A and B are shown apart, each in its own frame.
Chain A
């Protein structure tokens, strides 16, 4: 309205100016003033206003100013020329201004579009997970006549919505759902395929708040979709890369484990084969005592191989789970005694201090496995701390738990290693051939936990050295034990 009022004011000023020029007997100035007014209006308000102004101007000129005054009539060519001039100038001015305005408007639109796209692309750049892409774009979209954006990605024969994690197996449903919305909510929606470098990634569903998308906004949606496709693809590639790295790491770990196991198994075989070969070889002649030594070492290494095989079997049992029906009621004191006896046979020079609480301590366990677990602890203590003093094996009960502690006076365990001592194939730094396969503590933990117990390691102890491994097992109440016994 303001624009029309200003136009009217301009028109009136032009008319007044023309009138003043006319009565001052300056007809050319009068015409120029009038023309200026018409062109000003054309510039300001476009073609229609300009034509209205031009026609009004020509009428007024005709009626008021040209002879004969106060009536219409074309009496001479002099009269017609201003009439045509007004209209042609108005028309030309209006057309040129219109063009200028249009291109200015287009330039402005293009600029704001570019700015918008830049914002979208900036937002999408910051998404590193495919789940975040939708959230990022949602933050900028509503200004543009879109009420919601949903991204669906292909996953096999289904669609997956990363932002919610939903998987839709009915591939038509997102599309049907869309049509339903059309009817019920009177919302327009547009579905555009997400195309990546390696083919279709899925699709994007835009719900529009305007009823009908014009061509401009639909091309805008296409551009947004293209950027979404780039972002989604980038996120997917990042994920693939991360997975590939993780796989490579676990492959490397597996290789290391296999190489470690094969090394451990080959060492005894090497000794056996070399010793047996030497005993048989024609070119090697050994004195009798050496022959006996080689035979002994063959037997030792056979025992070692057997132990490794048993350990690998134990690991297999732990990994496949130990059935509850293999557990029975066992007397912890008796089992600890067996483990100690076993250790004395394996290490004839071992020194063990026993300290067993009086009374019966019944727990639910598998006797052979529990004995193996305790033996592994004593064996470990002997290997790594046996030279520094006696190994203490103590048993105490209380508060429903029985605790067996195996304590050595060895150098203790590094902070970094303490976390890992219970992991499969872990061997402490510098433990060398003493370490065996690195399964002892893993097996002990696996068995103890299968019996509902816990195993913990404390190291170094007060005084800066020594290691204590404590096995805690739930004690059976006296009556339970009686029934079981």
Chain B
């Protein structure tokens, strides 16, 4: 159960989401503009913010930093603008994920679950490995095991895959991957694409129809599985 703040200037959207989120056990607070949103995060302990970027008084992106850093809330951006640069900016600003309007309610609930899981898993101890039914990513030993088979990854491939694993289920921007792999946000995008292709060759059943490492067009990549951290 989380305390969720919905920031949207459209009352009808809040009115629709509120009963849905309440029915799956969350508590809902609402705000209609940036000022109200900032007031809410200061007054109540908010776990997750569903943030519409097109607010009447502020650019939603500018709210992400205070929500993440000051209030310690996670942020899922919900935007009708569908502009890649907006999403990228929001994610680089620290948003955990984004959902395009209109969205399937199950999709939104799934994204919310990923955030909730991440919040409960959070602890001070370093993660030793990430595991799912099929996949083990051993951070300490820098090993990947897929369906019981050890997969050899080059150091750069491992660095990229590790970042995707840490944010499993959530989108990771190209910029974030470039920093992880090359320590620089301005690497040729072609390099990144090549490495993603290499990872898919090694990890996907059918690299031409990826199911594990999904492309978020214009934004980045998403590891389409939920991994549990082990400490």
Contact = CB atoms under 8 A, between A and B. Distances in A.
A269 to B, nearest CB: 4
Contacts of B11: 433
25 contacts: A259-B81, A263-B54, A266-B80, A267-B12, A267-B101, A269-B101, A270-B10, A270-B13, A270-B101, A270-B102, A270-B103, A274-B16, A274-B108, A278-B20, A281-B106, A283-B24, A283-B109, A284-B20, A285-B23, A286-B20, A294-B16, A301-B12, A432-B9, A433-B9, A433-B12
A356 B49 CA distance: 52
Contact of B57 (A294, A301, A430): A430
B19 A290 contact: yes
A119 interface: no
Given A259-B83, A262-B80, A270-B80, A297 B15 contact: yes
Interface in A316-357: none
Contacts of B82: 262
A294 B19 contact: yes
Given A269-B102, A283-B106, A284-B109, A293 B83 contact: no
A284 B24 contact: yes
A281 B109 CA distance: 10
A181 interface: no
Interface in B95-109: 101-106, 108-109
Interface of B: 9-13, 15-17, 19-20, 23-24, 32-33, 54, 56-57, 80-83, 101-106, 108-109
B102 A272 contact: yes
A360 B181 CA distance: 79
A285 to B, nearest CB: 6
Nearest to A301: B12
Nearest to A260: B54
Contact of B101 (A266, A284, A301, A431): A266
A430 B36 CA distance: 14
Contact of B102 (A274, A285, A290, A300): A274
Given A267-B12, A432-B56, A274 B81 contact: no
Q: Which 7 A-B pairs have the closest CB atoms?
A: A277-B105, A270-B102, A266-B80, A273-B102, A290-B19, A270-B101, A278-B20
Interface in A258-312: 259, 262-263, 266-275, 277-278, 281, 283-286, 290, 293-294, 297, 300-301
Nearest to A298: B16
B80 A263 contact: yes
Contacts of B10: 267, 270-271, 433
A433 B32 CA distance: 10
Interface of A: 259, 262-263, 266-275, 277-278, 281, 283-286, 290, 293-294, 297, 300-301, 429-433
Contacts of B102: 266, 269-270, 272-274
Per DSSP, chain A at the interface is helix
A278 B21 CA distance: 10
B105 A281 contact: yes
A270 B104 CA distance: 9
Contacts of A294: 16, 19
Given A262-B82, A263-B80, A297 B12 contact: yes
B222 to A, nearest CB: 21
A434 to B, nearest CB: 9
A274 B103 contact: yes
Given A278-B16, A290-B23, 4 more contacts: A267-B80, A271-B10, A283-B24, A432-B9
Residue of B11, B17, B20 with most partner-chain A CB within 10 A: B20
A226 to B, nearest CB: 44
A182 B211 CA distance: 82
Contacts of B32: 432
Contacts of A430: 56-57
